[in-house]
Structure 1
Amino acid sequence: MARIALQSVRKSFGYHPVLHGVSIDIEDGEFVILVGPSGCGKSTLLRMIAGLEEVTAGDIRIGDRVVNDLAPKERDIAMVFQNYALYPHMTVAENMAFSLKLAGAPKAEKDAAVGRAAEILGLAPLLGRYPKELSGGQRQRVAMGRAIVRDPSVFLFDEPLSNLDAKLRVQMRGEIKSLHQRLKTTMVYVTHDQIEAMTMADRIVVMNGGRVEQIGRPLDLYETPANLFVASFIGSPSMNLIEGEVARGDGRPLFRTTDGLALPLPDGTNAAPGRRLVYGVRPEHVAPAAEADADATATIELVEPTGAETQVQMRLGEHLATGTFRDWPIGRPGERIGLRLQRDKIHLFDQETGERLDAARPRTAGAAGRAA
């Protein structure tokens, strides 16, 4: 196992910069997930840790060594790719043992390492099969087993589940998380799927445009997003965001939009009247209510039952909003519905900078701030 430290890491392809001074500390044995939209630089950063891309500036440390100039084979890492990269003419056992064969390991050592990895991953009955005889999930487990037999200090995963169907992705998420709990080895995992990040990571690094927007535990990012990007990216369905300003109403401040919609502000909000903000509330923190008790009324536009919950798209003044409700029936398109907002779950962001107003809600313990 090993600690990883990225210090002001930059990457440019020619004159085109893609990473802008990324600094991240990953503790020994920690499971950290890099998440963000396509093109944000997360896979490039992972490849730089692996030694598959050169560092333009800054330092990458694995353990107590700066590894910028070390070849991948000298970094004591193992990488699991998106496309499995198995040799079709080799059996499962031969694929898993290939790196040890290249290293000249004795047969007994190879067999023992493959046997241990096969037991961990449930591959023991499949060791004599070829990749074409395996399902997608089994092939991914073989790729993981090939990494495990090397007993590396760091595991790197580059979107390993993106080629699997939805049910298999859920199963493999649990298997990878269980693998980390067994091995307790440092893992860095790249995905564009924030559900994968939320369910698996010890900490999440949210990236956008080659920069780190926020680093923190999954629930910290969900409960106290540092800015509008994190607020909109973390959570599914995404947070409802409405532009407006602070106004006075009946002796207490409220949030008002240009079309006259008035919404309650969290207790303790001290933003000055006239300050332009973005008002955020997650769909699961909106509840149907009798009109007399409602904070606002909306017109239903679309009802999407999903089983345990129902997602409802509504017109709130001139704004589209989504609610996630457990009550049924909710109503039909075109009908009016009263809404009650959970006030201690309301988020406020500065409209100009996109940064969170900390006065909107106190940060939870362990919440991480923004990185350079």
Structure 2
Amino acid sequence: MANVTIDKARKAYGLVEVLHGVSVDIRDGEFVVLVGPSGCGKSTLLRMIAGLENITGGTIGIGGRVVNDLAPKQRDISMVFQNYALYPHMTVAENMAFSLTLSGAPKAEKQKRVADAAGILGLTPLLDRYPRQLSGGQRQRVAMGRSIVRKPQVFLFDEPLSNLDAKLRVAMRAEIKSLHRRLATTTIYVTHDQVEAMTMADRIVVMNGGHVEQVGRPLDLYDDPQSMFVAEFIGSPSMNLLKGRFDSADGQPVFITDAGIVLPLPDNVSRPSGTEAFYGIRPEYFTIAPIGSGIPAGVLVVEPLGPETQVTASVGGQTMVTMFHERINVQPDDMIWLRVQPNRVCLFDTAGRRFQPAIAPFAHL
């Protein structure tokens, strides 16, 4: 096991720079997820850690040594790819033992390591099968087993679940997280799926356009985003954002949207009247208000989800998503009245950065 230190890492292809001085410290035994939209640089950064891409500037350290100029096999890492990368002519056991075979490990050691990894991953009955005889989830477990037998300092995962169906992805998420708890090996995992990031990570690194937007624990990023990008990217459905300005009504500071909707402000965030801003509120922080009070909203779509109801509504001409942890009897074209929880509101300037002082992260129950 080892810590991984990324210090002002840059990557350029000719004149095109795709990583702009990324710095992240990953602790020994930590499970860190790099998340962001396609093209944000997360896979490039992972490949630089693995030694599959050269670094243009900065340093990458693994276990206290700088590895910028080391070949992948000298970095003591193991990588699990999106497409499994199994040899079709080899059995499961042979695929898992392949790296040990290349290194000249004794037969007894290979058999023991393969047996141990197969036991951890539930592959023991499949050791004599070929990849074509396996399901997608089984193939991914074989790819993980091939990494485990090497006993690396760091595991690297490059979108390993993107080829699986939705139900199998959920099961594999749990398996990978359980594997990490058992082995306690430093793990860096890349995905574009923020649900994977939220459910698996000790910490998340949110990337955008080759920069790090924010680093933090999953619920801290959800509750306390420091930019509109993070607010919209983390969470499903994403945060509602309304453009408007700070103002006052009846002697109290309020927020007035461009459509003239008056909204309450948090206790500890205010700016001079007329300051333009964006008002952010997560879907679950709305409640139904009595008729004629609160914010008028025209119901557009109702999605009953069993224990909760998702309602898409029009507020001042802008579409907003609300989530109620109950079953409510409303239909499209109905009018409802909404109330927001003001101390759950996030306010951002016109450049997309959170107004300070930031609201303290909410207690995680």
TM superposition score category, shorter chain reference: over 0.9
Indicate if the aligned counterparts of 1:346 and 1:360 stay in contact, CA closer than 8 A: no
Indicate if the aligned counterparts of 1:350 and 1:356 stay in contact, CA closer than 8 A: yes
Indicate if the aligned counterparts of 2:60 and 2:68 stay in contact, CA closer than 8 A: yes
Aligned-partner SS, 1:115: helix
Indicate if the aligned counterparts of 1:92 and 1:129 stay in contact, CA closer than 8 A: yes
Aligned-partner SS, 1:359: coil
Deviation at 1:284, TM superposition (A): 1.0
Equivalence for 2:170: 170
Counterpart-to-counterpart distance in 2, 1:248 and 1:274: 10
1:80-91 alignment, distance < 5 Å = 80-91=80-91
The superposition leaves residues 162-206 of structure 1 with CA deviations (integer Å, 9 ceiling, x where unpaired) of 000000000000000000000000000000000000000000000
* 2:150 maps to amino acid: R
Tell me the TM-score normalised to structure 1 length: 0.96
1:362 paired with 2:360, answer yes
Structure 1 stretch 341-350 or stretch 147-156: which is displaced more? 341-350
* 2:356 maps to amino acid: D
Aligned length: 364
Counterpart-to-counterpart distance in 2, 1:80 and 1:193: 17
Counterpart-to-counterpart distance in 2, 1:182 and 1:329: 43
The superposition leaves residues 268-289 of structure 1 with CA deviations (integer Å, 9 ceiling, x where unpaired) of 3231111111000000111222
Indicate if the aligned counterparts of 2:309 and 2:328 stay in contact, CA closer than 8 A: no
Deviation at 1:319, TM superposition (A): 1.2
Counterpart-to-counterpart distance in 1, 2:73 and 2:259: 61
1:311 paired with 2:314, answer no
Aligned-partner SS, 1:24: strand
* 1:63 maps to amino acid: G
Indicate if the aligned counterparts of 1:9 and 1:60 stay in contact, CA closer than 8 A: yes
Aligned-partner SS, 2:138: helix
Deviation at 1:217, TM superposition (A): 0.4
Equivalence for 1:370: none
1:71 paired with 2:82, answer no
1:80-229 alignment, distance < 5 Å = 80-229=80-229
Equivalence for 1:279: 279
Counterpart-to-counterpart distance in 2, 1:270 and 1:235: 25
* 1:94 maps to amino acid: E
* 1:208 maps to amino acid: N
Indicate if the aligned counterparts of 1:266 and 1:360 stay in contact, CA closer than 8 A: no
Deviation at 1:57, TM superposition (A): 0.5
Deviation at 1:363, TM superposition (A): 4.1
Indicate if the aligned counterparts of 1:264 and 1:295 stay in contact, CA closer than 8 A: no
Deviation at 1:362, TM superposition (A): 2.2
Deviation at 1:365, TM superposition (A): 9.0
1:12 paired with 2:12, answer yes
CA RMSD, 1 decimal: 1.3
Deviation at 1:359, TM superposition (A): 3.4
Aligned-partner SS, 2:336: strand
The superposition leaves residues 57-113 of structure 1 with CA deviations (integer Å, 9 ceiling, x where unpaired) of 010000121101100000000000000001111111110000000000001000000
* 2:220 maps to amino acid: D
1:343 paired with 2:342, answer yes
Indicate if the aligned counterparts of 2:304 and 2:327 stay in contact, CA closer than 8 A: no
* 1:339 maps to amino acid: L
Counterpart-to-counterpart distance in 1, 2:15 and 2:145: 39
Moved over 6 A (4+): none
Deviation at 1:364, TM superposition (A): 5.8
- Structure 2, unpaired ranges of 5+: none
Equivalence for 1:238: 238
The superposition leaves residues 280-338 of structure 1 with CA deviations (integer Å, 9 ceiling, x where unpaired) of 0000111222225x431100011122222221110001211000123323311111001
1:262 paired with 2:236, answer no
Indicate if the aligned counterparts of 2:246 and 2:270 stay in contact, CA closer than 8 A: no
Counterpart-to-counterpart distance in 1, 2:180 and 2:54: 28
Counterpart-to-counterpart distance in 2, 1:96 and 1:200: 25
1:28 paired with 2:28, answer yes
* 2:30 maps to amino acid: E
Equivalence for 2:323: 324
Structure 1 stretch 92-101 or stretch 356-365: which is displaced more? 356-365
Aligned-partner SS, 2:85: coil
Q: What is the percentage of aligned positions where both structures have the same residue?
A: 63
Tell me the TM-score normalised to structure 2 length: 0.97
